[in-house]
């Protein structure tokens, strides 16, 4: 009898725990389902040599979204460079302004930079990325741009220094010439027939 009572308490404990786990997951799911899409519109202004990005966030019925953190980035060669403050939160009009740095090098001679604005891991809105290309970077000079095509130790395979290509080729060819010569001679050896005694 004692054991049955003990067993009953254990089963009750376990079902309660399992129930709690399920409840919390359903709660998470519920939360996920309530997330909605937001809309970011960007406005770029340049006044007195200060470049500003203004992002306006609205919900699906067009109302401004207040107190939402936005993340601003500039695309670099290998990763995204964050710009703006640590937190860039929208105001009551759903707006937030970020100053664009003056000294970011661009990837081409025209000064193009790719600017990204993101909503990341918000409790209420789905993740979103808006991407725009602006000519706000410091353009690289023609000379610098064409340096990529110059022959150097750090260039791509096709632009290896001529001296290196020539010297390595001579070394490889001379050694492999000897190797093939020897293989040819071995072939000659195989063709020599034993003399009849």
Q: What residue ranges bind other proteins (CB under 8 A)?
A: 153-157, 160-161, 164-165, 168, 171-172, 175-176, 178-179, 181-183, 185-186, 188-195
Considering all CA atoms of the chain, what is the largest pairwise distance in Å, rounded to the nearest integer? Answer: 111
* Cβ at position 79, least distance to other proteins in Å: 16
* Cβ at position 144, least distance to other proteins in Å: 20
* Cβ at position 162, least distance to other proteins in Å: 11
Q: Of 44 and 181, which has the nearer Cβ to other proteins?
A: 181
Q: Of 21 and 165, which has the nearer Cβ to other proteins?
A: 165
The answer to whether 74 and 81 are in contact (CB under 8 A) is yes
Order across the sheet with 80-89: list the strands: 80-89, 69-75, 113-119, 128-134
Q: Of 8 and 176, which has the nearer Cβ to other proteins?
A: 176
Q: Of 130 and 160, which has the nearer Cβ to other proteins?
A: 160
Helix (H, G, I), strand (E, B) or coil at 70: strand
**Whole-number Cα distances in Å, 62 to 36, 44, 65:** 13, 21, 9
CB atoms within 10 A of CB 64: 15
Residue 120, strand partner residues: none
Q: Of 30 and 158, which has the nearer Cβ to other proteins?
A: 158
* Cβ at position 184, least distance to other proteins in Å: 10
* Cβ at position 170, least distance to other proteins in Å: 12
> 3-state SS of 87-128?
EEECCCCCEEEEEECCCCECCCCCCCEEEEEEECCCCCECCE
């Amino acid at each position: 009898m004692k054991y049955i009572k003990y067993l009953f308490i254990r089963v009750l404990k376990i079902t309660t725990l399992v129930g709690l786990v399920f409840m919390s997951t359903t709660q998470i799911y519920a939360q996920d389902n309530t997330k909605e899409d937001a809309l970011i519109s960007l406005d770029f202004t340049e006044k007195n040599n200060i470049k500003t990005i203004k992002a306006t966030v609205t919900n699906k019925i067009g109302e401004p979204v207040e107190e939402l953190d936005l993340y601003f980035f500039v695309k670099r060669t290998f990763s995204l460079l964050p710009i703006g403050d640590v937190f860039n939160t929208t105001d009551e009009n759903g707006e937030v302004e970020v100053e664009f740095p003056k000294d970011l090098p661009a990837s081409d001679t025209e000064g193009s930079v790719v600017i990204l604005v993101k909503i990341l891991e918000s409790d209420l809105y789905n993740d979103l990325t808006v991407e725009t290309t602006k000519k706000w970077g410091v353009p690289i000079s023609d000379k610098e741009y064409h340096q990529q095509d110059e022959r150097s130790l750090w260039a791509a395979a096709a632009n290896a220094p001529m001296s290196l290509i020539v010297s390595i080729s001579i070394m490889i060819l001379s050694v492999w010439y000897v190797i093939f010569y020897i293989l040819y001679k071995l072939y000659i050896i195989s063709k020599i027939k034993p003399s009849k005694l």
